[in-house]
Amino acid sequence: MIHGNLIHLTMNMWEDREDLLRSGKFHRGYTPYMEFSDNTWEQVRTRMRDRKMNMAVWDLGDGILYHSHPEISVQGAWSAARLRDELKKCRDAGLEVIPKLNFSTSHDTWLGKYSRMVSTPEYYQVCRDLIAEVVELFGNPRFFHIGMDEEDAVSQKLYRYAVIRQGSLWWDDFNFYVQCVEKCGSAAWCWSDKLWSCGCEEFELNMPKSVIQSNWDYYKNFSLDSSNTHQREIQAFIDLERMGYKQIPAGSNIAEADNYPLLVEFCRKNITPENLLGFLMTPWREMSEKWADFQIDAVDIAAPAKCSLI
């Protein structure tokens, strides 16, 4: 069973307003340079090994000096050699390494100028190039996470430039990414937010069964009662099971520390073993000295022994 942890190499997956970040009114914003702490990451990697976690999902963004498109990389971005060295350290610690590039228009600031060319021929070529390059860098990984969460107006309300694909265009672009990933020999993996808004019939018609699903909820109320404001998110776990999708449910310590063990308990009761591939911890904070304790706590919370998953 997968016991994974999401690692952000950069945090440029959100809005591009540096002023909000500097003002302290928003905890995430664009920075043109790397903020990744090697010391904090070494502590986290060691803790993941000691706590028997077995997967590191790397959200790369613009933190790699891509050979195909170096123009999107931030100052201090890792070289291919540096990335491969880190991946080897992960594998030596017993961690399977999985790449992630989020192509949701709510989380693609990392694409630089191409985030303002969405659904154009040039954009498609860049995405195709990056997926192929990352698959090669990771040595043909089992999965490739393509993100695709929160592409809506609410998520972009603070952005200076908002883009939302709808209807068949969203699905066409989604399946374009899936095809790029599968052509390279990996299985596509995505967030399951789309199910919250489109309904099961549309979802099953357009979502390939080959795509691994990570539905997520970060609170501790897993009731399906109509009074639960997160009912639709919780119901999605059950709907995905009924439709026969493979799942890696995601929890976090970002909102409520009790979320993760309750997520595990709920999903083990409602998802069959053949469809439940494992679980993913998503801390949603940069790998920095400031958030070192938070990152360590995330690993401790998601440890297999802590969640009775060994």
Which domain, by its residues, includes 174?
Answer: 2-302
In a domain, residue 244? The reply is yes
Least reliable range by pLDDT among 12-26, 130-144, 155-169, 221-235: 12-26
Spatial CA neighbour of 33 closest among 66, 76, 62? 76
Considering the domain boundaries, does residue 275 fall inside one?
A: yes
**pLDDT confidence of residue 305:** 78
As a whole number, mean pLDDT of residues 129-149 equals 98
310 found inside a domain:
no
Residues 14-38, mean pLDDT to the nearest whole number: 76
Judge whether residue 110 has pLDDT over 60.
Answer: yes
Closest CA to 62 of 70, 53, 52, 51: 70
Q: What is the CATH number of the domain that holds 222?
A: 3.20.20.80
Predicted model pTM: 0.96
HEC letters along 113-180: HHHHCCCCHHHHHHHHHHHHHHHHHCCCCCEEECCCCCCCCHHHCCCCCCCCCCHHHHHHHHHHHHHH
Count up the domains in the chain and report the number.
Answer: 1
Q: Could you tell me if residue 66 is inside a domain? A: yes
- Please check whether residue 20 lies inside any domain of the structure: yes
Percentage of the chain lying above the pLDDT 70 cut = 95
Q: Is residue 189 part of a domain?
A: yes
